[in-house]
Amino acid sequence: MLRPMPTTTRCTGGYLKGRSHLRPAALLGLALFLAGCRAPLALVSALPPSASTITVYTSASQPFYSAYDGLRGVQLRVNVPNEFLPGQRPALTGGAVLRVTYEPHLDPRYPDRDFYAWPESEEWLGELVDGRTVGQTFLSLYPGLNGITLRVSTYGADFSPGIGRLREGEPAIVREAPIAGREVTVLPGGTEVQVGSAREGWAEVILPDGRRGYVDQGQFASLPPPARQNTGEVVLRLYRLSDGALLRESRLPASALHDQSHVTFSFEPLPDSYRQEYRFTLTAVGARPGSAVTFRFSPSDVYPEGHRLEGDAEADGDLIFRPTYAERVLVETPLDQAQWSGLTGVLEARFDPTGPTRDCYLRVTIEAGERPVVVHWSWVRPPGGLPLSSADDPGAPAGGLVLNALYADEVPLFSVLGGLARGYARLFWRDPWLSAGYALVLLSTLAWGARRLREDWTHGG
């Protein structure tokens, strides 16, 4: 008697059961593969759309925030000439140079964020007399720390309110704000004018029509006598926070400081100051009550990376300060040696990885050679949100140069895919109807693909 053969259903079921064990393993293997794969890092995932071009006759530059280390290349969208004048050497950019530097003075993470702003939420510490010590701890974000800038008041030691007289034969520009404020008017040399307070070494003037502005104190032949004379030396000492070692010291005579101004205590650069923690103190040797200066501070905590000190104890708020750094060129390379893509109009300059560039503000500068360079700009600014600047056109558009930065570091592919997913999510959030339609099409396609895959596996058994 013949025994019945096993049914196809049972056989297929066993086959599928065996394959079902493979599916989680396959998914796990795919996840591990993606996690192991790494993609090169870049400033932006793709160059932004060009709005127009600017012509660089001398120089143009673009600051940006760099989140990664190991800068190894810069991409620029430029117009490369295809015709040359007689005797002109054919070259991509005619001898133009690309330079990358640190830009710490644009970093917004220190309490002194706006040179011209004197908010009412800030206060003065009171006289820094002999025997009193104030200070601040902070994190240095760049190499080459070479000074600390603070805001100082001298209690009217420049001059008193009254009448000042301008130098003969030298017209004086009256500005809305000291140094770089918009021009209000011009006063002829020898003019007598009413003066109020001092700021940044400039005298506030009150014009006959009631308008106010500022004139450089150096343009006055005479000013009213000061209300007081400050004595002694103001001493800044810099310590390493980890072990308290004294690293630098800087001294300035109190009599040389200007009322309501920025003052920088300079010292020899510290090459290894990148991401190091420090403490600085201020004392005034020989300063008595009535002849001492004071410094600006915020009573609230405006700087989470450090804290204010009164003597050796922590105090509320933070000093209004900003570290200064020695200039450093990270890269300088001829653009004529860059790689040109005629398909995308992109010029890519490559160089050995340089740094540190993680968590820093940098600036890319293009300096023209024997002929101008035409570069593209976009309304989309690079990370950091800062505008381009042009030495040829102070009124350059408020957008950013079309550029990208490439890094030697790599990132797991999962992180790249996650970033793309978050980008799509933000895009979809702006248009829910488009999101719903796109999601429906995507889910339908995935469902169809899953059904076909299941049928193929079933028939394959």
3-class SS of residue 412 = strand
Cβ neighbourhood burial of 172 (10 Å; 0-12, 13-18, 19+): buried
CATH 2.60.120 correct for 42-106+335-412: yes
Give the whole-angstrom CA distance, residue 200 versus residue 223. Answer: 16
Residue 266 φ/ψ region, left for φ over 0, alpha for ψ in the -120 to 50 degree band, beta for the rest: beta
> How far from 410 is each of 41, 219, 330, 455, CA to CA, in Å?
5, 56, 20, 40
Q: What is the dihedral of CA 166, 201, 327, 103, to 10 degrees?
A: -110
Cα distance between the two ends of the chain: 29
- List the chain pLDDT tens, one digit each, 461 residues: 334 434 333 444 444 444 545 455 555 555 555 445 556 799 999 999 999 999 999 999 999 999 999 999 999 999 987 654 565 455 788 899 999 999 999 999 999 999 999 999 999 999 999 999 999 999 999 999 999 999 999 999 999 999 999 999 989 999 999 998 999 999 999 999 999 999 999 999 999 999 999 999 999 999 999 999 999 999 999 999 999 999 999 999 999 999 999 999 999 999 999 999 999 999 999 999 999 999 999 999 999 999 999 999 999 999 999 999 999 999 999 999 999 888 888 999 999 999 999 999 999 999 999 889 999 999 999 999 999 999 998 888 999 999 999 999 765 555 555 655 665 566 566 667 666 766 777 677 777 767 766 666 666 55
Extract the tokens encoding 85: 């004048």
Greatest Cα pair distance in the chain: 132
Of the candidates 180, 117, 120, 110, which has an alpha carbon nearest to the alpha carbon of residue 148? 110
Domain residue limits, the chain: 42-106+335-412, 123-156+229-319, 162-222
Q: Are 266 and 142 in contact (CB under 8 A)?
A: no
CATH 2.60.290 correct for 123-156+229-319: yes
Which CATH topology does 162-222 take?
SH3 type barrels. (2.30.30)
3-class SS of residue 175 = strand
Extract the tokens encoding 61: 């530059």
Beta strands in 241-359 (DSSP E): 246-253, 261-270, 276-285, 294-298, 308-310, 313-315, 318-319, 321-325, 329-334, 339-341, 346-354
Residue with tokens 């570091």: 409
Chain centre to alpha carbon of residue 22: 50
Give the whole-angstrom CA distance, residue 119 versus residue 93. Answer: 46
